[in-house]
Chain A
């Protein structure tokens, strides 16, 4: 079964873990033992039953009632499979949120309808991240509607505000659905809610199923193989993963950025000899000549200009801390130092507006020009995500993410 990976998004305390917990219970996807254990923990903490404890397994998470680190849980619903990725909503835990969300196919945003909660900067920041990561399907679950008597006006108000923000960041044209729920009371999760009479649409799980078509087309893209290493140190036997296209035995390939050329003598797919291999396959290629030692992070293709090979990239970055001192990026499995990290514009994530600036505030975004210490194989994120995205480090510690724009 192909699993749809759905990342949760949203401000801390808007109900992400509670929602997944109740979805696991309502769909029968969790053992009695896990539910019993969560009940016992709730009781020992003197609290009402908290379904979120099925996911929040660290003692610190349960005692402090907040998700510290990302986790995943699978749900089978009718004939579709989903893997929900829970993420922390807390601003200080952005690195853990990014770690979880980066594996998602689509997103489920929670916004609390409580009068004092609603849309926050963090809600918008999470949407900004989803857009950056190329997630283009979104469900917005307006949660805690029980706290406002399942008021349709509040639901509509949140929908209008979210849609206007999505338009600002260029998400508007994508598939977005709004569903009113109460995660804690399990209203409108897997059954139509009797308490939300004004809502005629699909319940949450049905909405997810209707969006779960994950067919990815290869757009007839040419061959690109991301190279990982040399087999037993032999410079004429390389292994890697096919990012796009098809590779055939006997073909001539160019290694980028080095420009070295070789002909393929043998292809092995997952250890077995084959005459060709396609996208997704992990392969070993036996070549007719040596292509050098430093091949990790290179791209092999039958087209000499399959991707970019320079040492300057323009990117959109989101930082989790202040950039200071030396910086580097990790792209396609290799870390490369930055000679120059030049901020051109700063983007206010809350409004989506950009201004000319030389610095980016932490937890904010910006457009940058990066000069790397050496040439790398890269591409625009939109064309080839695997070599168009990177992780950012400052003074050797994680500082954010970036996507190559041109």
Chain B
């Protein structure tokens, strides 16, 4: 995995976050308390002098890890976040496609409508998945939250199109250019507070965090950020291998994303 120039990445992301703030009337960000969206919040604070000038949404299905909830409360207080928790209704038998696809989208639709958000900052990265690699920095979703991936808007140079004629909203992806190892490099440099589940306990750690139903730990002895970076330099395993497999099958990710999955 290639480590890129952090300063270049950081400046590009700050530029994109500022573009989001200046192009839209009512921006919100999604925060899963994972490493990527927490990094995004840290970059936002750099862009706006220590403030996060928009609401931060957690779509809570009630089955996240206890450590994740604890981390949420601590950081929301420390960074003075305007945290909006929306509860999604989960049934015990739900998992994978049904849960991430419909369940979370329904909850998100409700809150987007209630507050009239016209843009949503989402911390996906190109190196996570072949489908995400095809995303734009500013990516429109229609009224039904659908991603028209067969006919994406043009995005030439840095002229991100903020126009939306479909009555929907724009997804903004400021971390698209980051690799997994760049995220850790940023966390190390900026001493970003991070969910303890990423670090090894009893020989296991979480490399990618979802909820308790769909996430499994990987074998690892990496107990701190430096050790995680060392591990990533040599790994041949996909980052999301610990996520429920049905999400990672050939076309399920495209279908999920077309339906509004983050």
Among the stretches B27-35, B104-112, B115-123, B158-166, the one at the interface with A is: B158-166
* B131 smallest CB distance to A (angstroms): 5
B11/A270 in contact, CB under 8 A: yes
B18/A330 in contact, CB under 8 A: no
B138-161 interface with A by 8 A CB criterion: 149-150, 152-161
- Within 8 Å by CB of B18, from A228, A268, A389, lies A228
A71/B2 in contact, CB under 8 A: no
* A23 smallest CB distance to B (angstroms): 14
A282/B11 in contact, CB under 8 A: yes
B236/A37 in contact, CB under 8 A: no
A207-263 interface with B by 8 A CB criterion: 228-229, 231-232, 239, 241
B1-31 interface with A by 8 A CB criterion: 2-5, 7-8, 10-11, 14-15, 18-19, 21-22
Q: Decide if B136 is an interface residue (CB 8 Å cutoff).
A: yes
B11/A2 in contact, CB under 8 A: no
* A216 smallest CB distance to B (angstroms): 12
Minimal Cβ-Cβ distance residue in B for A398: B154
Q: Decide if A281 is an interface residue (CB 8 Å cutoff).
A: yes
* A236 smallest CB distance to B (angstroms): 14
- B contact residues around A367 at 8 Å (CB): none
A96/B152 in contact, CB under 8 A: yes
* B4 smallest CB distance to A (angstroms): 6
- A contact residues around B254 at 8 Å (CB): 57-59
- A contact residues around B155 at 8 Å (CB): 99
* A244 smallest CB distance to B (angstroms): 15
Which residue, A32, A41, A74, A281, has most C-beta atoms of chain B within 10 A? A74
Q: Decide if B179 is an interface residue (CB 8 Å cutoff).
A: yes
B50/A271 in contact, CB under 8 A: yes
* B41 smallest CB distance to A (angstroms): 13
Given known pairs A57-B134, A76-B2, the reply for A330 and B21 (CB within 8 Å) is: no
Q: How far is the CA of A52 from the CA of B94 in the complex (A)?
A: 35
The A contact surface, by secondary structure, is mixed
Which residue, A2, A55, A231, has most C-beta atoms of chain B within 10 A? A231
B157/A102 in contact, CB under 8 A: yes
Given known pairs A33-B237, A58-B149, A59-B254, the reply for A271 and B49 (CB within 8 Å) is: yes
Q: How far is the CA of A59 from the CA of B256 in the complex (A)?
A: 13
* B225 smallest CB distance to A (angstroms): 19
Contact indicator per residue, chain A 49-73, by CB within 8 Å of chain B (1) or not (0): 0000011011110000000111111
State how many residues of chain A have any CB contact under 8 Å with chain B. 56
Q: How far is the CA of A72 from the CA of B177 in the complex (A)?
A: 10
A282/B14 in contact, CB under 8 A: yes
Minimal Cβ-Cβ distance residue in B for A56: B130
Q: Decide if B58 is an interface residue (CB 8 Å cutoff).
A: no
B241/A57 in contact, CB under 8 A: no
Q: Decide if A280 is an interface residue (CB 8 Å cutoff).
A: yes
* A50 smallest CB distance to B (angstroms): 13
A280/B11 in contact, CB under 8 A: yes
B241/A398 in contact, CB under 8 A: no
* A349 smallest CB distance to B (angstroms): 17
A333/B159 in contact, CB under 8 A: yes
- B contact residues around A102 at 8 Å (CB): 156-157
- Within 8 Å by CB of A99, from B18, B50, B154, B179, lies B154
- A contact residues around B230 at 8 Å (CB): none
Minimal Cβ-Cβ distance residue in B for A58: B254
Q: Decide if B53 is an interface residue (CB 8 Å cutoff).
A: yes
B236/A271 in contact, CB under 8 A: no
Name 12 interchain pairs, CB-CB below 8 A, sorted by A: A1-B2, A31-B236, A32-B236, A33-B237, A54-B130, A71-B134, A81-B4, A228-B19, A228-B22, A270-B11, A282-B14, A296-B22
Extra pairs beyond A228-B18, A239-B18, A239-B47 (13, CB < 8 Å): A1-B4, A58-B131, A59-B251, A59-B254, A70-B134, A71-B133, A72-B126, A74-B127, A229-B21, A333-B19, A389-B157, A391-B156, A398-B154
